[in-house]
Structure 1
Amino acid sequence: MSAPKPTRPTDSLFLAVYPDAAAASRIRDEAARIRIEHGLRATPIPADRLHITLHYLGAFAGLPADTIEQARAAASSVAMPPFDVTLDRIESFASRRPKHPLVIAGDPDEAFSAFVDTLGEALQTAGIFVKSHPRFIPHVTVLYDEHRVARQSIAPIEWTVREFALVHSLLGRSQHEVLFRWPLGS
């Protein structure tokens, strides 16, 4: 007799890009500075989990093999060149939860926006519904805290995105596992 499937979501899937080592270090430094400056108590997110979510694919009770295969097919069909990311501000995003995400954000350039749109269209074609955002704001969440931090400029943090990934998040366990990575062509 097999174990019953969980009924509550235990896993989520999303497509993301990760900062390179130098950018991740700068992001962590900014988070530490703001945390001290504003007396925030929350623990910063570990460097290996810092990312920009491109498309959230949903929360599931277990890992859905069909969704993974659809996402894999969609992502494999995207052929675009590397592009640059610039994050130049820090702020707390609004949230219905008691803790607000503190993010380091920026505005996407044309190449980044085109990449997100192309990937979204490929997912839709593969049969995965993705929420389209009227204005995609690239951001890296660095911690969650009860206190909000007003938007403020920071020295730009830049890197070139050379790959993207399908990520499995184990809900409630603060763990991410990269399932697949795709390089961007030159």
Structure 2
Amino acid sequence: MPEQLWLPGLEAPPPPTDGLFFAVYPDASTAAAIAKFAQQLCAEAGVRSGVRSKPLAANRLHVTLRHLGNFAGGLPANVVEAAKRAAAAVSMAPFTVEFDAVASFAKRPRLGPAVLVGEDGVRGLQSLHDALEARLRDDGIAPGERFTPHVTLAYGMPWSERRAAEPACWNVREFALIHSLLGRTRHIVLARWSLVGQS
């Protein structure tokens, strides 16, 4: 690969400041239970490997349905509007989700995220993602990355084998469009859509 030439007067692009994504959130009691489990997981990792990792707070636990991009200097209005149009066109009935295992997204020997995952219990999320992806494509938004339904519990965790966990279940009745203030651990809900379609 040829070296990238530096040209005088050509500045590096500004770092991204704002993210945009669709998400599903657990109800408050389920989020509290997941957060407690995340705390236990971090404590175990600290004892086992000396790694000090901080679990995500209950109000930040979510499933990212579809990431739409990171941007510098605010969110592009045309992308936000296209996302809202696509979401409004999704018709799907509410469903139950169940995560029943904990896994690692770390690549040994590096640290990485510890996440909740599932098999049959996350099929509804896959269907919602696929329906949303189809509507986004209709609105001219390029396909996203492969979707792996998960809830991130903590970052900076050592790699570990996937193992069973106490199931985390909740009823998914809506999804939301989220503005993430990057580096400031803040999420702003831009809009919500209820699942009211037929099964």
Count of aligned pairs between the two proteins: 179
Larger Rg: 2
Report the Cα offset of residue 112 of structure 1: 2.9
| 2:52 alignment partner, SS class | coil
State the TM-score, normalizing by the size of structure 1.
Answer: 0.88
Q: Distance in 1 between matches of 2:58 and 2:109?
A: 23
Kept in 1, the 8 Å contact 2:65–2:125? The answer is: no
Kept in 2, the 8 Å contact 1:91–1:149? The answer is: yes
For structure 1, which segment, 124-133 or 107-116, has the greater mean C-alpha deviation from structure 2 after superposition?
107-116
Q: Determine the structure 2 residue equivalent to 1:116.
A: 129
Q: Distance in 1 between matches of 2:108 and 2:19?
A: 19
Percent identity among equivalent residues?
Answer: 46
Q: Determine the structure 2 residue equivalent to 1:66.
A: 78
| 1:90 alignment partner, SS class | strand
Q: Distance in 2 between matches of 1:55 and 1:167?
A: 10
Deviations 1:61-108 (A, max 9, x none): 121111000000000111110011100111211359954011111125
For structure 1, which segment, 122-131 or 48-57, has the greater mean C-alpha deviation from structure 2 after superposition?
122-131
Q: Distance in 2 between matches of 1:109 and 1:171?
A: 27
> Which residue of 12, 30, 33 corresponds with 2:19?
12
Q: Distance in 2 between matches of 1:79 and 1:56?
A: 20
Kept in 1, the 8 Å contact 2:24–2:64? The answer is: yes
Q: Determine the structure 1 residue equivalent to 2:7.
A: none
- The 4+ residue runs of structure 1 with deviation greater than 4 A are 95-98
| 2:42 alignment partner, SS class | helix
Q: Determine the structure 2 residue equivalent to 1:93.
A: 105
> Which residue of 34, 39, 46 corresponds with 1:27?
34
| 1:38 alignment partner, SS class | helix
> Which residue of 49, 54, 58 corresponds with 1:47?
58
Listed as ranges, the gaps of 5+ residues in structure 2 are 1-12
Deviations 1:118-175 (A, max 9, x none): 1100011112123142xx3311111111522321111111111000000011111111
For structure 1, which segment, 174-183 or 124-133, has the greater mean C-alpha deviation from structure 2 after superposition?
124-133
Amino acid in the other structure paired with 1:158: C
1:152 maps to 2:152: no
State the TM-score, normalizing by the size of structure 2.
Answer: 0.83
Q: Determine the structure 2 residue equivalent to 1:3.
A: none
| 1:70 alignment partner, SS class | helix
| 1:9 alignment partner, SS class | coil
Report the Cα offset of residue 31 of structure 1: 0.7
Kept in 1, the 8 Å contact 2:20–2:69? The answer is: yes
What is the root-mean-square deviation in Å for CA atoms of aligned residues? 2.0
Distance 1:11 1:96, change over 3 A: farther
Amino acid in the other structure paired with 1:103: V
Report the Cα offset of residue 109 of structure 1: 4.5
| 1:7 alignment partner, SS class | coil
| 1:44 alignment partner, SS class | coil
Kept in 2, the 8 Å contact 1:90–1:154? The answer is: yes
Listed as ranges, the gaps of 5+ residues in structure 1 are 1-5
